[in-house]
Structure 1
Amino acid sequence: MGEVSETYAGWTFLTSHARVLAAIAEDNHIRIRDIAARCRLTERAVQKIISDLEEDGYLTHTREGRTNVYRIEPGTILRHPAEAGMTVQALLSALAHHDAQRDGQPRR
């Protein structure tokens, strides 16, 4: 997802839930502390978001030693009726494509 920009006050197009999911998609061994820093959220907020995502079936985790390993359920359909039929994988693919173009990487 690249470098984190300066703190931004105001509304944005992506929700915190989408940002957390994208951070996990990039590194499924990422620590809550690192997600919080990347997404400009508190660790408590990230814990709540992860709990929300797990509760609704978008994400699961297992423990490996002292760390969590996350697994995104890519076929899960997004919740809002306006995105009817769109999967988590489609959303994450769009975000990854954007990041690759921004970072000058070849298109996937």
Structure 2
Amino acid sequence: MKVRIFKPAKTAMQSGMGNTHEWVLEPEPSPKQVDPLMGWTSSRDTMEQVKLHFATLEEAKAHAEKNGWQYTVEQPHARPVRPKAYADNFAYTRVGRWTH
């Protein structure tokens, strides 16, 4: 079975970095089938519903190797943090004009 190991990105609904510190191991998506009666898409693979969380990348790799799974690691993208302060809105060196 093929699995992927990654760090989830922050959602668009939050400004903080919550739920982005653990590594997630999840199986690669399998091909879907169309139910002939209802037309719904489905899959017989129940492992698609499993997501395992690990504190470190090494723990996730060790778990995949112990179970004999082939894994791919997706490294997280570095996010630049720009320090900001409320006083910067009123600085004399501000590029744009400040008006109400």
TM-score (norm 1): 0.18
Q: Of Structure 1 and Structure 2, which has the larger fraction of its residues in helix?
A: 1
Structure exhibiting the larger radius of gyration computed from Cα positions? 2
Q: Of Structure 1 and Structure 2, which has the larger fraction of its residues in strand?
A: 2
Greater relative contact order: 1 or 2 (C-alpha under 8 angstroms, separation 6 or more)? 2
